[in-house]
Amino acid sequence: MLTIQEAAERVRLTQWALYRAVQRGELTAYKPGGRLRIREADLEAWLQSTRVRTKARPATRPAPAAPPGVLSAARPRGTADSVRARVRASRGKRRAA
């Protein structure tokens, strides 16, 4: 049996985090002699219940290639039609006014 302080040191959390977990009913604690105690097995089970599983990232797919003979609809970078060019043009209009 571990005291709250010992359990908190073992899992590198504050004792208040463990008190909140006990209060929410997520962590089982016992109170012999007026002091909270936590069984090591209960602490391990609680840690396992809070485990976060990461999602596997899908493999990166190559960009779809246009069939031969078909022109791409993508605009080349740096053209006068780019977003950056339009923002700069609109800023210039405000400054001139």
User: For 55-76, what is each residue's pLDDT tens digit?
Assistant: 877 777 777 776 666 665 555 5
- Residue 23 clears pLDDT 70, i.e. is over it: yes
Q: Give the model's pLDDT for residue 93.
A: 67
pLDDT at 80 over 70: no
Q: What percent of the chain has pLDDT over 70?
A: 75
In this structure, how many other beta carbons lie within 10 angstroms of the beta carbon of residue 37?
16
Helix H or strand E segment including 70 = none
Residue of 52, 38, 30 lying closest to 8 (CA atoms): 38
